[in-house]
Amino acid sequence: MNEHRPLREAPPIEQNPDIRYLGKLLGDVIRAYGGEVLFGRIEHIRSASVDRHRGIAPGADLGLEDLSLDDTLAFVRGFMLFSMLANLAEDRQGITREPGASVEDALAILKREGFDEAAVAAMLERALIVPVLTAHPTEVRRKSMIDHRNRIAELMSERDAGRQETRDGELVEEALLRQIALLWQTRPLRREKLYVADEVETALAYLRDVFVPVLPMLYARWERVLGSRPPSFLKPGSWIGGDRDGNPFVTAASLRDALRRACQTVLAYYLEQVHALGAELSLSTELAEVTPEVAALANVSHDPSEARSDEPYRRALTGIYARLAATYRSLAGREPVRAASVAAEPYRQPAELRRDLAAIAHSLERTGSGLFAGTGALGRLIRAVDTFGFHLATLDLRQNSDVHERVVAELLRVAGVESDYLALGEIERVALLRHELAGGRLLANPFADYSDETRSELDIVRAAAEAHQLYGPAAITAYIISKADSVSDLLEVNILLKEAGLWHPGDPAQADIMAVPLFETIGDLERGPGVMAEWLALPEVAGATAARGHQETMLGYSDSNKDGGYLTSVWSLHQASRALAGVFEEAGAAMQLFHGRGGAVGRGGGSSFSAIRAQPNGTVRGRIRITEQGEVIAAKYGTRDSAAANLEAIASATILASLEKRSERRRETFYKAMAEISGAAFRSYRGLVYETAGFPDFFRQMTPIGEIAGLKIGSRPASRTTSGRIEDLRAIPWVFSWAQARVMLPGWYGTGEALSGFADVELLREMNEHWPFFRTTLENLEMVLAKSDMSIAAHYSALVRDDALRAGIFGRIRDGWQRTHDCLLSITGQSRLLERKPALDASIRLRLPYIEPLNLLQIELLKRHRAGESDPRIREGIELSINAVATALRNSG
């Protein structure tokens, strides 16, 4: 397996002209605000590092030791900003976009296979695609930094259009310089801990500024492509304010606040749009006819203006605005920015608002030979109401099954039903819980003295019930159960929902919120299909599922990777998906998979387009939810253009994965080979991470995990407990730490040992050519290998105090990386990594000269910090370097 074509030197990088331009402006800013001396030092390090990486001067001295602490901080900020600007330039040029990743391209592919627009439209009638924003802490940049970056993107678009001046009359280049100067002088690090409310506001900024305007625009495009109006099959979701697994700061109060702020945000948008329509629709009854429905809306508006007496559309919109303002006042608890001119009753639900807007649209369609029909501002507003309702984004609840178990045990004990629920076996638990769910009696006693935990969980489900009353049932539809491994775990959630009136006994039973198991570890993924078979076999569950139309199951990428390594994780997820599809088909129920992906490959990262298309046959069928986390949110949805491209890619991939005919060539042979490889990879990974004495100490000393835990990047703690065990560490800091040290271990370790031990190399090459799952697996692996660097990692390993421990473990890691590298090239037939992906190759190699000095400075600062030096600039430098490395690597967390 170690034989492959001789390594060929990578071609020189042709730098993106936007990167050169923005880099020059950054240099001008550093010179102007930091002085010539600082600029000279930074430029020397930059050019020396570039020469080293190009092989021009491999032994060039970077001169890092000459930097004072103040200069170190300035240098790290400079390289971080360059990486941020380079990311922006590449995103604008579409480097991350993939061929075929549009709905129009998907239709073209499907037409060649015999599907027409009608077949796609029929599939979309039952489709649901939801990118779910989560607060998982891998975004190290402050929102202020991201805002300046987005303004630079807007200015670059004006420059592309050939404009010399902005709309405000400022020269575009001067405006760009000013924004970069603002970046240079903006503190990049948070000084205060993030709270849930902060995370909610950050998410709302993306939803308000990007999702709300972009999705109606995309739907207008898709309607033209399809030739018919599709339903709102793509909608945003969120965990922020509802995910309390391991986060004690998410409470009923923060849940109510998140829901109220989302409602305020979307209603304010509707008010603004209705006001703008009122200014636009000046049609007079002296020159245009209106339908009776619009005339009725105009009459009931009680608009007192004589000037609008012959303008029924404006009068109708006055009434709509007044009702919306009353709705805002009722649900948001405050007055809108622009008061209504007349009094009105609030809308009770979004459907009422949509009905009034549709009446205006239908009337306009009959005017002017259809010139007013279509997807103008009114059409986009109707689409927004369809998509966002009064809730903006569906908010999930999430909690750990251990918490539910304790809470239900206390409720049963206090109610006198069962004194020791925790001692019961699974069969007894299921029988008891089903009996309770079948009756109308509640367990909670308002006069009983419950634990804080039980009171908190009851408050949560009661707040969810309030949300349904206020904002509609789409506000909260799913209750995710972490660490789910049994039917009783799901029944316990329904017990809690019943206490708030969200589970309704009967024939059939009804559940206003769906209990969703999250299968996370390798063992959970293996047991998950059996759990779901038992679950769907329960008559009350089958009835509730049929009434809802589907049942969701969530698959965890992060913890399965930490548990079993990259290769075993992706294969277990693939196998679990296939097995679940069979279970659901046998039960006659529709399946919806929720993929808990992170940004890094070790947490399911990589191309969403490729990942969705690589899902097993029959597992998508138009329905999929995917988490979007941390720095990935800014990368994918930081600007309207990037958001449009990524949302279109997700839609296109889902359409293709649902309908595309795929070859079943040698499926069983491929599966058998993959099972063998996965088993070997699992043993290798577990042998290093969980069975090697001293590995936790090695990990904590080699990587900046301790320093990362102190970053103000999220409201959740880094570990679930205070123990030092790898099992208790959250997957996010586990992956993030290895990325900082340039090892990227969760994204590849064990793979080389497994592939090198597999005898049939030709079969592996055939799998790469003909099996999308295996090809995507290797493509993501290749990207990780390209971003890792064992020579830099060796410097980090010197932080390990025990020489024998360091030599033994790092030697295994280094050798494993080399085996993985060699095997990958042998299977893919390349002479070097990313040979067939020149754009990604250039993108990564462009950054390497900028990342190496950051890593080397970070190591020196870690040494000084761990030696006890108390200068606060050392700690600041470490945190800045973590920020800078993460920015340069992009999908590192």
Domains of the chain: 400-659 (3.20.20)
pLDDT of residue 597: 83
CA-to-CA dists, residue 719 to 250, 716, 722, 725, angstroms: 16, 9, 7, 9
Average pLDDT of span 55-70: 84
* Tokens of residue 478, six digits: 């799913």
pLDDT of residue 87: 85
pLDDT of residue 119: 93
Average pLDDT of span 821-836: 97
pLDDT of residue 293: 95
* Tokens of residue 321, six digits: 């605005």
pLDDT of residue 599: 63
Range with top average pLDDT, 220-229, 365-374, 636-645, 703-712:
220-229
Q: Is the pLDDT of residue 479 over 80?
A: yes
Range with top average pLDDT, 49-53, 451-455, 719-723:
451-455
775/651 Cα distance (integer angstroms): 21
Q: Is the pLDDT of residue 345 over 60?
A: yes
Q: How remote is the C-alpha of 736 from its chain's centroid?
A: 16
700/692 Cα distance (integer angstroms): 14
Question: Looking at this protein, which amino acid is placed at residue 857?
Answer: L
Average pLDDT of span 811-828: 98
* Tokens of residue 513, six digits: 């919120």
Q: Is the pLDDT of residue 95 over 50?
A: no
615/598 Cα distance (integer angstroms): 17
- Contact between residue 184 and residue 77 where contact means Cβ atoms under 8 Å apart: yes
81/74 Cα distance (integer angstroms): 11
Strands 128-134 and 237-238: parallel
- Contact between residue 151 and residue 179 where contact means Cβ atoms under 8 Å apart: yes
Cis peptide before 17 (omega within 30 of 0): no
Count Cβ atoms below 10 Å from residue 253 Cβ, excluding itself: 13
Max distance between CA atoms of the chain, in angstroms, equals: 92
pLDDT of residue 7: 47
Positive or negative, the CA dihedral 161, 162, 167, 170 is positive
Q: Label residue 55 exposed, middle or buried (CB < 10 Å: 0-12, 13-18, 19+).
A: exposed
Contacts of 449 (CB under 8 A, 6+ apart): none
Q: How remote is the C-alpha of 309 from its chain's centroid?
A: 50
143 catalytic? Reply is: no
| CA torsion angle 260 262 263 267 (round to 10) | 140
863 catalytic? Reply is: no
308/281 Cα distance (integer angstroms): 11
- What's 121's DSSP letter? H
| CA torsion angle 188 194 200 202 (round to 10) | 0
Q: Sheet containing 623-629: give its strands across.
A: 394-395, 237-238, 128-134, 623-629, 591-596, 551-556, 514-519, 478-482, 397-400
Q: Which of 420-429, 482-491, 802-811, 839-848 has the lowest mean pLDDT?
A: 839-848
Average pLDDT of span 303-313: 90
Q: Is the pLDDT of residue 139 over 70?
A: no
Q: Is the pLDDT of residue 444 over 80?
A: yes
* Tokens of residue 169, six digits: 């009359």
In the chain, pLDDT over 70 holds for what percent of residues?
A: 93
- Contact between residue 243 and residue 138 where contact means Cβ atoms under 8 Å apart: no
pLDDT of residue 368: 60
Q: Is the pLDDT of residue 546 over 60?
A: yes
- Contact between residue 330 and residue 349 where contact means Cβ atoms under 8 Å apart: no
- Contact between residue 745 and residue 563 where contact means Cβ atoms under 8 Å apart: no
Q: Is the pLDDT of residue 714 over 60?
A: no
Question: Looking at this protein, which amino acid is placed at residue 102?
Answer: S
48/334 Cα distance (integer angstroms): 58
Confidence label for 56 from pLDDT (cuts 50, 70 and 90): confident
Strands 514-519 and 237-238: unpaired
Catalytic residue among 4, 136, 148, 483: 136
CA-to-CA dists, residue 410 to 227, 251, 583, 705, angstroms: 57, 19, 34, 37
Q: Is the pLDDT of residue 713 over 80?
A: no
pLDDT in tens, 556-596: 988 889 999 999 999 999 999 999 999 999 999 999 999 98
pLDDT in tens, 604-629: 567 888 889 989 999 999 999 999 98
Give me the residues paired with residue 146 across strands: none
pLDDT of residue 470: 97
Q: What integer best gives the mean pLDDT of the chain? A: 91
Q: Is the pLDDT of residue 718 over 50?
A: no
Catalytic residue among 483, 562, 787, 821: 562
Q: Is the pLDDT of residue 455 over 80?
A: yes
| CA torsion angle 20 22 23 26 (round to 10) | 160
* Tokens of residue 818, six digits: 């080399």
- Contact between residue 364 and residue 233 where contact means Cβ atoms under 8 Å apart: no
pLDDT of residue 372: 66
564/675 Cα distance (integer angstroms): 13
* Tokens of residue 347, six digits: 């809308």
Number of residues that this document lists for the chain: 893
Give me the residues paired with residue 762 across strands: none
pLDDT of residue 6: 46
833/781 Cα distance (integer angstroms): 10
pLDDT in tens, 755-788: 999 999 999 999 999 999 999 999 999 999 999 9
Higher pLDDT, 731 or 581: 581
Residue the block writes with tokens 């009756």: 439
pLDDT of residue 733: 85
- Name the residue among 496, 494, 415, 414 with its Cα closest to residue 458: 496
In the chain, what is the straight-line distance between the N-terminal and C-terminal CA atoms, in Å? Answer: 31
Contacts of 315 (CB under 8 A, 6+ apart): 297, 298, 299, 301, 303, 305, 308, 309
Contacts of 174 (CB under 8 A, 6+ apart): none
Contacts of 672 (CB under 8 A, 6+ apart): none
In the chain, pLDDT over 90 holds for what percent of residues?
A: 73
Which strand (E) or helix (H) includes residue 343?
A: none
Which strand (E) or helix (H) includes residue 504?
A: strand 503-504
